[in-house]
Structure 1
Amino acid sequence: MTANLSETLTLLLIEDDDGDALLVEELLKQAEAPPRIFRARSLREAEAQFSAKIQCVVVDLSLPDASGLETLEKVLALAPHTAVLVLTGLRDVHVAVSAVQAGAQDYLVKGDIDARLLARAIRYAIERKRADQAQLRLVQAELTAKENSRLESALLPGPLLRTDSIEHVTRYLPGSGGTLAGDFYDTVQTPDGAVHIVIGDVCGHGPDEAALGVALRIAWRALVLAGQTDDRLLRTLDSLLRAERQAPEIFTTLCMATLSPDLCHARMHVVGHPPPVLVRAGTVEVVDGAPSGPPLGIFADAEWRVIDVPLGEEWSLMLYTDGLIEAAVGGSDELLGVDGLLDLVREHGTIDLDRLITGAGTLSDDLAVVLVRRRT
């Protein structure tokens, strides 16, 4: 019966004995799809031949420049993502167990092999390595998911609200990379009855940006509860950003809104951020007068003006990050944009976040949205 390798493989045989190497090559020639074999007589020679195309390393534990498990450890260090099969003359159960525990996929004794056994052992070694790598990726994905969950709980907290007079809805979706970045939001009602809302976006992607977003979000909440507002609050956040950021080019855009206790008026700061969408008296518009000034972290002497917005008795206000308006429309390169967002809201007749996000297109960036609506 011929050996059956399911695919044409590329192997690296590390064997200093020419007779043993010839035996391995002759046995593998009997395979249904004989593998391509590279030969090295020492670890030094092997190091020069390692490449991504090598799918399996067959190594003897007795080489001129290494011996025993030291040989295996060096091979594993040189080829951590490649299947390794130990083929040696050492008939020692303890060594065999130690080799597998150290990372080899299998251990064979030269005097016990035939063509069928060797071909099958190589094929199984490759499959076991693939399974090990898949399991490792799964574990890493689970760890990333847990880390993202912890970051999300800090980036995206529950609102501190006492009033039942407004509806408060939020959404957060990661971009195409699937990981959290620097988008953050928060809502706090202070003892005077005013409702304070913030949404922000730290430029860039990754854990550093996410951590900075957490720091800014927590600082904003603490400062609001301590009574800081307007320019004083923004300057404190700007100083914090400059102290905590990893590089001087990192900046943050944000939008803050303070709803008066009677919920009929808002004071806003649109700090280099997309303008909020306001629905009132049957009209759909962006908040007039935006922006208030540049993003945080750009100019040391920046000033931000207040935008006064009459709300009336019935209204909806949506704050969002640029991931919403940078969604690709209909699978094309065209972006939704602010005008497209307004058209969607008008088409729906109201701000329905799930419907709006679905209709916006394909997200390429993180998306955070806060919707507040006065209940009538």
Structure 2
Amino acid sequence: MERRLVTALSPGMAAALPEMLTLLLIEDDAGDAFLVEELLKEADPSPRIIWARTLGEAVERIGDDVRCVLVDLSLPDATGLEALRRVLAAAPDAAVIVLTGLDDAHVGLAAVTAGAQDYLVKQNVDARLLTRAIRYAIERRRADLAQRGLVEAELLARENDRLERGLLPVPVLTTDELVHEARYLPGRERTLLAGDFYDTVQAQDGSVHVVVGDVCGHGPDEAALGVALRIAWRTLVLAGHAGNELLRTLDDVLRLERKLPEIFTTLCLATVAPDLRRARLHVAGHPPPLLLRGGEIEVVPGTPSGPPLGIFPEQEWTAIDVDLGDAWSMLLYTDGLIEATVGGGPDLLGTEGLIRIIDEHGGIDLDRIVGRVIELNQDTLSDDLAAVLLTRRASG
């Protein structure tokens, strides 16, 4: 039977193909495969062609470098749209073109609907048409993948918002003498939830309890552990526990729930007395809180009061008692706020840099502070960030 893959070459040079193109040709007929190779020699530059006689052989030879697949629909081990579907499954990121001797518009439409970028009939193809079809198919596939990536990113962002609304705490405060603000920002892009956590609860006696913590590491396991520790802390506070008794119980929870023995957690606990003039703090290997009184910003003295949770068994943490006065602001935060870089270089902001930012703004404005830190970092923060700001304004 006469081979009619090519009727005549079109005048002029074939269209250009992408540089370093690797193409997989799935064709059981050696003569047709030879003619395809001859046609593609007209392209500039000529692609690297991998020839497979069967679908099984093709699947074994598909690699990340294959950007386009030419597949016949009459193969020894697969035929029709089933062959196409198996190719699409094996090469999900490559452009797939059906090159067959069957001149059937219905089959062509079904192939494109199934996921092929194009449908070419062998006897109607010349060098220029084949080269152009390959180039356009690759560009269409690239656009499809980019669009899919955008859709996935949008869906992930919506899921992120939903999870954060569901898992981040709602402060329990009955007094109107305190202003409570909190900020939470996962550092890595497309992260659903970070290992940082915070919470605020006012007990029945009027005392206000705050926790800000940081589980070392990044990922879903650390995020789940952070949520577990926060819920355990709230339960213990509502049950009347405080101080070293509460910290040792959290340490037990951490050791039971962590996936690896080297996982530890830093945290800061603050208990503001019912009169809102005094506070007791426990700082377990965590960045020291900042205290604003009378227009002066300072690091709470005596911190830290002990090592992080999960390192030493039967640990004791020293209580730090602070006289707050009538009007004050106290900022508890994780190290994501002070480990941002300055100007994108190797130097970190640090606690002193954070204090300078607060002085520049004449007070603690969380939105402006976080915005300034990100601006200095010249990029999204690499570490997670959680911050809680409690403020008591002077009466009158």
Give the TM-score of the pair, scaled to structure 2.
Answer: 0.86
Structure 1 partner of 2:121: 109
1:310 deviation in Å?
Answer: 0.9
Task: Give the Cα–Cα distance (whole angstroms) in 2 for the partners of residues 178 and 105 of structure 1.
Answer: 30
Q: What is aligned with 1:170?
A: 182
> Equivalent of 1:195, from 204, 208, 213?
208
> How far apart in 1 are the matches of 2:86 and 2:149?
23
Is the 1:193–1:261 Cα contact (8 Å) retained in structure 2?
Answer: yes
Residue of structure 2 aligned with 1:7, choices 18, 41, 49 = 18
CA distance in 2 between counterparts of 1:227 and 1:253 reads 22
- Return the alpha-carbon distance in structure 2 between the equivalents of residues 28 and 375 of structure 1: 78
Q: Quote the Cα distance in structure 2 between the aligned partners of 1:212 and 1:94.
A: 55
Return the alpha-carbon distance in structure 2 between the equivalents of residues 153 and 297 of structure 1: 29
C-alpha separation between the residues in 1 aligned to 2:84 and 2:27? 13
Of residues 291-300 and 146-155 in structure 1, the stretch that sits farther from structure 2 once superposed is 146-155
> How many angstroms apart in 2 are the aligned matches of 1:343 and 1:265?
26
Question: What does residue 151 of structure 1 align with?
Answer: 163
Counterpart pick for 2:95 among 66, 83, 102: 83
* 1:222 to 1:98, Cα distance in 2 relative to 1, 3 A: farther
Q: Is the partner of 1:158 in helix, strand or coil?
A: coil
Alpha-carbon distance in 2 for matches of 1:200, 1:104 = 51
Q: Distance in 2 between matches of 1:150 and 1:203?
A: 24
Deviations 1:144-181 (A, max 9, x none): 22332233224432322222212222222232435231
Query: Which of residues 55, 64, 71 in structure 2 aligns to 1:59?
Result: 71
Q: In the alignment, what sits opposite 2:389?
A: 371
Partner of 2:253: 240
Cα distance, 1:257 vs structure 2: 0.7
- State the shift of 1:122 in Å: 1.8
Counterpart in the other structure of 2:4: none
Residue 27 of structure 2 contacts residue 72 of structure 2 at CA under 8 Å; is this kept in 1?
Answer: yes
Distance 1:344 1:138 in 2: 36
Match of 1:298 in 2: 311
**Is 2:33 aligned against 1:21?**
yes
Instruction: Identify if the C-alpha distance between structure 1 residues 138 and 148 changes in structure 2 by more than 3 Å, giving closer, same or farther.
Output: same
Give deviations 1:253-294, integer Å, cap 9, x for gaps: 111111111110001111111110112244322111212222
Aligned-partner Cα distance in 1 for 2:369–2:361: 8
- Rounded to whole Å, the distance in 2 between the matches of 1:150 and 1:234 is 30
- For 1:265 and 1:315, the matched residues in 2 are separated by 11
**Structure 1 residue 230 displacement after superposition:** 1.8
Conserved in 2, the CA contact under 8 Å of 1:155 and 1:183? no
- For 1:154 and 1:273, locate their aligned partners in 2 and report how far apart those are by CA, in whole Å: 26
| C-alpha displacement of 1:71 | 3.1
Q: Name the residue aligned to 2:355.
A: 342
1:222, CA displacement in angstroms?
Answer: 2.6
CA distance in structure 2 between the partners assigned to 1:86 and 1:212 by the alignment = 50
Partners of 2:60 and 2:121 in 1: CA distance: 26
Following TM superposition, by how much is the alpha carbon of 1:95 offset from its aligned partner in structure 2, in angstroms? 4.5
Question: For residues 294 and 279 of structure 1, do their structure 2 counterparts lie closer, same or farther at Cα, with a shift above 3 Å needed?
Answer: same
1:307-355 per-residue CA deviation (whole Å, 9 max, x = no partner) reads 1111111211100000111110122100111232233334444222233
Q: Quote the Cα distance in structure 2 between the aligned partners of 1:105 and 1:283.
A: 66
Percent identity, please. Answer: 66
- TM-score under structure 1 normalisation? 0.90
Could you list the per-position Cα deviations for residues 180-213 of structure 1 after superposition, in whole angstroms to 9, with x for gaps in the alignment? 3111111112222111111111111122222222
RMSD (CA atoms): 2.5
The one-character-per-residue Cα deviations of 1:239-263 (angstroms, maximum 9, x if unpaired) are: 2222222222222111111111111
Provide closer, same or farther for how the CA distance between residues 59 and 269 of structure 1 changes in structure 2, counting only shifts above 3 A.
Answer: same
Query: CA 1:219/1:153 → structure 2, altered by over 3 Å: closer, same or farther?
Result: farther
Q: Which ranges in structure 2 are unaligned for 5 or more consecutive residues?
A: 1-10
* Contiguous gaps of at least 5 residues in structure 1: none
